[in-house]
Amino acid sequence: MPLERPLNPFVKEAPDASDISDPRLVQLLSHWAGLNTGLGPGELPPATRIDPLQLGFILGWLMVIDPIDGGADFRYRLYGSNIAATTGRDLTGLKVSDSFPLFADWTREVYRSVLSQRRPVLTRHSPRRYVRVDQWERLILPFADRDGSVGRLLIGAVIVGKKLEGDDVRLPWPLTE
């Protein structure tokens, strides 16, 4: 069984390019900023502007998440194929609360912050077990619903550092600590 590792969470609100280690996430932030061009202060690009054809540079490393009940939980509308291959599980259609409890509690708080602050957030964390990567870096971007509230989150999630050596381990189901 893989050894336990601490989550080591890092959170940076309203990051700029110099805060981000992965160039794909820098490009994703630039893409999102371009979608904001011409919008009024405090306005966000509508969720309908998420276009996979413009996101080919990071497509397999993207998640699209919808808030449930104002942020009580979040549902994975899309769980990128590269993320699923790395974690050994496709969470498309599932809720964040269906994930590892410690990670789910932390990440839901981060997502709620994006809902209320209406600005991008950069995070880094180390997976607890099974997922054999050094660290994940995630850029969380808010998109507006028809009423102007944050109705969708676009998240680029990439591996920082390296994939750790060892046998690939299939994640248990249901996910538990």
Give tens-digit pLDDT for 98-140: 887 778 899 999 999 999 999 999 999 887 655 667 788 999 9
Enter the pTM of the model: 0.88
- Is the pLDDT at 143 greater than 70? The verdict is yes
Q: How confident is the model at residue 22 (pLDDT cuts 50, 70, 90)?
A: very high
Partner residues linked to 65 by β-bridges: 76, 153
- CATH superfamily placement of domain 10-37+45-163: PAS domain (3.30.450.20)
From residue 54, give the alpha-carbon distance in Å to each of 45, 58, 67, 78. Answer: 15, 9, 24, 16
Q: Give me the pLDDT at residue 171, please.
A: 44
Smallest CA-to-CA distance from 134 within 21, 14, 13, 18 is with: 21
Half-sphere exposure of 147 (CA within 13 A, CB side): 3
Q: Give me the pLDDT at residue 86, please.
A: 84
Question: What are the tens digits of pLDDT across the range 152-168?
Answer: 999 999 988 765 555 45
